[in-house]
Amino acid sequence: MKFAVINTNLAPGGKPAVVATTLASLFTEAEHEVSLIHLGELDLPACDGYVCYQNAATISLTETLASVDAILLVSPVYNYDLNAAAKNLIELTGGSWKGKAVGLVCLAGAHRSYLAPLAFINSLAIDYRCLVSPRYVYVTRSDFAEGNELPLDGDIYKRLRFLATEMPVLAEAAAKIATFDRS
């Protein structure tokens, strides 16, 4: 199966990059094909509803996402919501998400933003008929060891491993649903 792991943090490195790389490696270990995408390395425009869709980076990313079986989004949480880059990503490439399985990993400073991804999940489920895993992984800075490492025996690593195991099952289900979905 083919998966896309997208890091929506626009800054280089950091905790989202660690999580995205860890998640991608779990898919690779399971012998899946994975595209690891860092939005900060792409020259994506802000969605303007027209010209943005003619941008070469938008076209390329849309084609990449259309070719995968499932999409996993790794996003920081700012002001009790996923970052603006995640929202812009959906506005630019939304059609390529239709009917796909989607998994989310959110990173926040503390536990207070735990419900932040719910509006985003609703949008994916309703607007694009995505089959979104309800078991999103919520990560705080206290989940990391020194040097921004995720402990291999820690709860977050175990949850990422479960998400990587669950996504192929959801991707198969989403593909089956798509064969009779007329919406």
Q: Which amino acid is at 5?
A: V
Q: What pLDDT score does 13 carry? A: 92
pLDDT tens, residue by residue, 141-162: 999 999 899 999 999 999 999 9
What residues have CB less than 8 Å from 27, skipping those under 6 apart?
3, 5, 34, 164, 167
Local confidence band at 14 (pLDDT 50, 70, 90 cut-offs): very high
| CATH code, 2-178 | 3.40.50.360
- Which one has a higher pLDDT value, 42 or 79? 42
Quote the Cα angle for 56-42-92, to 5°: 60
Q: How distant, in Å, are the alpha carbons of 73, 90, 141, 180 from that of 58? A: 17, 11, 31, 29
- CA–CA gap between residue 156 and residue 15 (Å, rounded): 13
Q: Is residue 45 scored above 90 in pLDDT?
A: yes
CB 74 within 8 A of CB 117: no
- Which one has a higher pLDDT value, 161 or 183? 161
pLDDT tens, residue by residue, 80-107: 899 999 999 999 999 999 999 999 999 9
State the helix-helix crossing angle for 118-127 and 84-93, rounded to 10 degrees. 0
Q: What pLDDT score does 178 carry? A: 82
Q: Is residue 59 scored above 60 in pLDDT?
A: yes
Q: Tokens 């503390």 label which residue? A: 110
Among residues 126, 34, 112, the alpha carbon closest in space to that of 74 is found at 34
Q: Is residue 75 scored above 80 in pLDDT?
A: yes
Local confidence band at 180 (pLDDT 50, 70, 90 cut-offs): confident
Domain assignments of the chain as residue spans, ordered by start: 2-178
